[in-house]
Structure 1
Amino acid sequence: MYTVRQIADALGVEAQGELDLCILRAAEPQDAGPDDLAMATSPKYADGLAAGGARVALLWEGADWQALGLKAAIFATRPRMAMSGVTVLLDQGQGFSTGIHPSAVIDPAAKLADDVSVGPMTVIAAGAKIGKGSVIGPHCFIGMDVELGPEAQLREMVSIGARAKIGARFRAQPGARIGGDGFFFVTPPGSGAGNVRKTLGDQGDAKPQSWLRIHSLGAITIGDDVEIGCNCTIDNGTIRDTEIGSGTKLDNLVHVGHNTRIGRDCLLCGQSGISGSVDIGNNVVLGGQCGVGDNLFVGDGAIAAGGSKILSNVPAGRVVMGYPAVKMETHTDMYKVQRRLPRLMRDLDALKKAVFK
């Protein structure tokens, strides 16, 4: 529970009205009750405030809070930034118990720093090092010689493979798998897939044959303040480590292939897939369901719209879209032309008929 004054002070923003009113929860305007903070961060939410019962709201700058029937208001210069701060304050957590649960299996050779909590049925292998203040949820697995930095938060059923090195304040959502073997196989003679890669279509005289495993000798290196979504999969490197830079965030169901290097403060949205040996720069954004072919480079600050399939290198700062991904303005022009095709075909048919007559 926080007062309006405490919330405003924590956000570093202005508040007006009855600043000692207490807030229990955040809510959407139409659903808010008298103890809720209504998140009405733009004028389009004003009607929702009238439908709800909030006494206090997070409002856009310049809003007439008294005309909206409120007893107090907090004003947000940047609403989404303010929302971030509010959610930090009001997050009630997952309710994991503190301390080491008696059903957890912790190897005697593992080292846990102060204030580490380990949930039920979790396994921590020999040589693992868990940083101070970390919370390991139930049914997690932390492999041999893993190094996990301070203040990590692992939700239920997170799995981290051997020798991974992870920085401070790491967050992993349920079902994330860090450090599976890379999808790396080879055939004794050249394969049809390999020939197609070279010729862009011709399989040559390759015969059907079995695939031989190439083992993953590398591991995973992850920087500070990285967050991994539900059911993400990050493959070990083949020889060197797969790397994810500090501040990078992965949404649910993102796959990162072996040997890939991802820079700092990148954002990879849901169901994106990164092939092996890709080099992604800093501050790159990949929209949902993007794909990146193997051995490619994506430069600093590049942005790929949702559904884009990147099949060639992307220079720094470029915005791309489509399959194959091209400059967004080029894709837009191509799409406009594509939509005109039925009309162009009708015009062509009319011209053909006129010529034949």
Structure 2
Amino acid sequence: MDISLSLNAVLDRIDYSSFEGELGVRNITGVASLNEAKQGDATFVASSKYIQELKESRASLIVVSKDLEVSPKSGQLILRVDNPSIEIAKLCELISQKMWNRPDPGVHRLADIHPSARIDESATIEAFATIGEGAIVGPGCVVGTGSAIGPACQLGEGCHLSSNVTLERDTIVGKRVRIHAGVVLGSDGFGYEFENGRHRKIPQIGLVNVGDDVEIGANTTIDRGRFGPTRIGEGSKIDNLVQIGHNVAVGKHCILCAQVGIAGSTKLGDYVVMGGRAGASGHIEIGGGAQLSGQCVAYSDLEGGAKYGGAPAIPLVAYQRITVITRRLPELFKRLTRLESQLLGE
């Protein structure tokens, strides 16, 4: 897709404190990394360790931190800012608006809408979407192609559902929630009791409640509660391929990276971060501000405000020391063998 942004549009978007140089092109035509940027592209530098790459970059517009000592080449414009990553993100927002234009409001003729569903006139329902009995779709919502909104579901203002999203019955979604392709909210929790040699299914009659400004990545699944709700707190961001069990309570502004798994009835405080493939067993609490490194697994309660690693989870510094020692085990074993041989020889 062709992108073209005027310099004025860029400058209006970026909060810069000073600039050097002169833009050698009429418009900005893309955003790229230092190595891949070509003439017309914008890029950013947040650290002095990339100075050499910056000197070799062909980018026309470069967003840098205030204290970075660098001068523009001919035809380059440098903008100095507090946080280059955030400012370049603002520019990407402009481009994304052009790449993914909001579709016109209205219900596609190939959508299947239950007569009792309430759809705001400013919402967009795309082809082959299904809206169930008593469902509510709020102002400015977009329900993508092939998505299914079950009975009695509620979508707050400004939600965006990509293609093939499934909301099972009674799911509640707040305002400005973005849900990517293949997500399933409100499927049955994994609940069984062993009786007379068989696994008896426990009906899951709760729901899923998602707060405002949440983003849920592709193919993530969040199970409905056994009785009450499974909750996702306001502002939390969930990556692709995450599994959240029944009656889990995720606090506000949490970060759950790809392949995180959280078993039923576990509670996460606000601002918890779980790295890729981290996990938590059921019926435990992870305190606010806790950070779990990749593949870390919590089997018991964890205090908030601390960093953890390993399985089972231990303080991250201790885990890192153990990792270093573990790598030295072959060498230490050889040394021990030599010492034993020397002692036995005496």
Relative to the length of structure 2, the TM-score reads: 0.91
Q: Deviations over 1:31-82 (max 9, x none)?
A: 3343322334444445545555432222232456654333423223112211
1:39 matched residue in structure 2: 44
By how many angstroms is 1:282 displaced? Answer: 0.3
The one-letter code matched in structure 1 to 2:60 is R
Tell me which moved more, 76-85 or 148-157. Answer: 76-85
Task: Please show how residues 124-139 of structure 1 align to structure 2 within 5 Å.
Answer: 124-139=131-146
- Partner Cα separation in structure 2 for residue 336 and residue 46 of structure 1: 32
The change in CA–CA distance for 1:46 and 1:260 in structure 2 (over 3 A counts) is: same
1:199 matched residue in structure 2: none
Residue 141 (1) aligns with residue 148 (2): yes
The change in CA–CA distance for 1:3 and 1:343 in structure 2 (over 3 A counts) is: same
Residue 159 (1) aligns with residue 169 (2): no
- Partner Cα separation in structure 2 for residue 119 and residue 274 of structure 1: 33
User: C-alpha root-mean-square deviation of aligned residues, in Å?
Assistant: 2.1
| Residue segments in structure 1 that go unaligned for 5+ positions in a row | 190-208
Contact 1:40 1:60 (8 Å CA) reproduced: yes
Identity of aligned residues (%): 29
1:25 matched residue in structure 2: 30
- Partner Cα separation in structure 2 for residue 93 and residue 235 of structure 1: 33
Q: Deviations over 1:297-340 (max 9, x none)?
A: 10000000001111111001121101111111111222233233
The one-letter code matched in structure 2 to 1:347 is R
Residue 306 (1) aligns with residue 311 (2): no
2:214 matched residue in structure 1: 226
1:116 matched residue in structure 2: 123
- Partner Cα separation in structure 2 for residue 51 and residue 339 of structure 1: 38
Tell me which moved more, 302-311 or 112-121. Answer: 112-121
By how many angstroms is 1:118 displaced? Answer: 1.2
2:13 matched residue in structure 1: 10
The one-letter code matched in structure 1 to 2:292 is A
2:201 matched residue in structure 1: 213
By how many angstroms is 1:292 displaced? Answer: 0.5
Residue 324 (1) aligns with residue 319 (2): no
For 2:222, what is the secondary structure of its paired residue? strand
The one-letter code matched in structure 1 to 2:87 is A
The change in CA–CA distance for 1:65 and 1:72 in structure 2 (over 3 A counts) is: farther
Residue 175 (1) aligns with residue 178 (2): no
- Partner Cα separation in structure 1 for residue 278 and residue 52 of structure 2: 37
Tell me which moved more, 110-119 or 50-59. Answer: 50-59
The change in CA–CA distance for 1:31 and 1:103 in structure 2 (over 3 A counts) is: same
Tell me which moved more, 116-125 or 334-343. Answer: 334-343
Task: Please show how residues 201-350 of structure 1 align to structure 2 within 5 Å.
Answer: 209-350=197-338
For 2:198, what is the secondary structure of its paired residue? coil
Count of equivalent residues: 338
For 1:29, what is the secondary structure of its paired residue? coil
- Partner Cα separation in structure 1 for residue 56 and residue 145 of structure 2: 41
The one-letter code matched in structure 2 to 1:25 is G
The change in CA–CA distance for 1:348 and 1:159 in structure 2 (over 3 A counts) is: same
- Partner Cα separation in structure 2 for residue 105 and residue 24 of structure 1: 40
2:95 matched residue in structure 1: 90
Residue 68 (1) aligns with residue 73 (2): yes
The one-letter code matched in structure 2 to 1:80 is S
For 1:271, what is the secondary structure of its paired residue? coil
The change in CA–CA distance for 1:351 and 1:32 in structure 2 (over 3 A counts) is: closer
The change in CA–CA distance for 1:43 and 1:114 in structure 2 (over 3 A counts) is: farther
Relative to the length of structure 1, the TM-score reads: 0.88
For 2:107, what is the secondary structure of its paired residue? coil
- Partner Cα separation in structure 1 for residue 58 and residue 336 of structure 2: 62
Contact 2:22 2:75 (8 Å CA) reproduced: no
- Partner Cα separation in structure 2 for residue 315 and residue 31 of structure 1: 43
The one-letter code matched in structure 2 to 1:107 is H
The one-letter code matched in structure 1 to 2:206 is G
Contact 2:15 2:87 (8 Å CA) reproduced: no
Contact 1:15 1:72 (8 Å CA) reproduced: no
| Residue segments in structure 2 that go unaligned for 5+ positions in a row | none
Q: Deviations over 1:231-272 (max 9, x none)?
A: 000000000100000000000100000000000000000001
2:340 matched residue in structure 1: 352
